Structure 1
Amino acid sequence: MGIKYRVIRRNVKYPRIEISPLGDVKVIVPPNVNPEDLVGRKKGWIEKKLREIEEARMKFLPLSNKLLLDGEFYELIESEEFGVNPKFHVVLLPKDDLETLKRWLKTQLREELEFKVRLFSSVFGVKYRKIYIRFQKTKWASCSEKGNLSFNLMLMALPEELRDYIIIHEVAHLKFQKHSRKFWELVRQYYPDYKHAQKGLREYWLALQYNKIWNKLREIA
């Protein structure tokens, strides 16, 4: 069976292929380029990515009704009062009160970010302006030219060591804006296993696409 894909024709300089976390393949090409040629050349890469997505779907879909938190899956149990028990991987939650859960997640993440961003900014000899926490569609975090740092609330789904990598990565951008050799040297100095971290982040990003709790949290204004 051939690869299913959607063709988008734009006045782009370089043709490219984009694969969404749910497995939708888009082929973006200039008007005079045959998309079949590009798909044919990239067939092995596309099939590999689609296999990774299918493996993630099979692995994480059965756990979609549990909250992914700190790299573990927590059971949501209805209760009169809110509470989180890391030992038993349980979140006590008043009925349908996901707003309380979202506020708690944001508070926990802000406390961690304010300490660690301040720490690594001091170590790297850089300054930042503000820290923002919001849901982002395609990124774990970002650094603006003005020195503002934006972090995805979904970082709370990650193990702490992966959050550390993202924090180091973004604070390093305050010193080196582009992914230059010096940038990666700085990241490697404080997070030597960053390539393994990047692989882990891709898997967790796929897991979150199927997580019903995080999808509901994203819908709360």
Structure 2
Amino acid sequence: MSDSARKTVRLFHTAPALVAVFDALAAELAPWAVLRHTVREDLLKCAIDLGQATPEVIEAAASAIAEQTHDDIDAVVCTCSTIGAAADLANATSNLPVFRIDRAMARESLMLGERILVLATLRTTIEPTVSLLKSEAGAMGRAPTIESMVLDEARALFLSGDTDRYLQAVADGINAAALDADVVVLAQASMAAALPLVKAVNAPILTSPRIGFAWVTRELSGLAA
């Protein structure tokens, strides 16, 4: 892609650690992309405190995302699955594309099997991810079996910021839970870093950062064509 076709993408995070994750993905997959980052930890904290991403949280997140659609931005990507519905809400009224990072992962999981297992470390992430899977399944005329599990031990480590033990707990949870699934979906982008610690399992394990960012870059390349 020529310099004249470079795209500036605003990444909207609720976890600071994802800044480095997506910088690395951009360097590998889309060196033509210029990334800008916004981190709003308060939105995820609010959802956790309330026990779910309430309509009020989604509306607040959608407004915050909409504020990122400036003239110098070509697209916005929401990297948080808990507030993923806010990306859809913002996209409906924006003059720029607003992407939900986990949508491509949901679509790919439906192509890989009929028994989908959703794993998360935060209970607030389960419902939005399952809802997205059901929506995409309906659009594809599919009726998969979707089960979900919260990795409670990993959740406590995630909230305490103990990254190394968090990732090991995620890996242990994947190893224990993946036996009866055709495909495993990791609902939170932060869980992707645990994959190198996972033992060999038969089911494919999908994570949103790489799959989602690759999808976004393809869409943006198409816009530039």
State whether TM-score is above 0.5: no
Question: Which has the larger helix fraction?
Answer: 2
TM-score, length basis structure 2: 0.24
TM-score, length basis structure 1: 0.24
Q: Which has the larger radius of gyration?
A: 1
